[in-house]
Copies of this chain bind each other. A is one copy, B any other.
């Protein structure tokens, strides 16, 4: 039947698109920085190495699970380095690699833009909510 054709075609397009996205470098970086904790961790590590628990305290709201998981992802991508000191209570430090510092710098760029334009965004949002009437009428 003809009706299946459109769905089929959309499906193929999506498959091709997915493949395209998987190969796209900027997409991968986007996915990384989209992560809820990555930006915070990078910022927390920006001014020097930190211990696991230090990071936990510095970002405050993070659970051990997410802390470990995020750190692992970062380490896997070569953005942070993990150094284990086999003392009596084990000690583990994390620090940014040059690559990680580069990403952090880029993120700072974004942050910079954000701080410079957040007022405009907020104003636009306000205007929009006013014009489009959130719900009252």
Q: Is A133 among interface residues, defined by CB-CB distance under 8 A? A: no
CB distance from A76 to the nearest CB of B (A): 4
Q: Is A2 among interface residues, defined by CB-CB distance under 8 A? A: no
**A28 interface neighbour in B21, B34, B77, B121, Cβ under 8 Å:** B121
Decide: A75 near B30, CB < 8 A? Known: A61-B18, A117-B99, A121-B99.
no
The secondary structure that dominates the A interface is helix
**Chain multiplicity (copies):** 2
Is the beta-carbon distance between A17 and B118 smaller than 8 angstroms?
no
Residues of A within 8 A of B (CB): 13-14, 16-18, 21, 25-30, 33-34, 39, 59-61, 75-79, 99, 102-103, 106, 109-111, 113-115, 117-118, 120-121, 123-125, 127-129
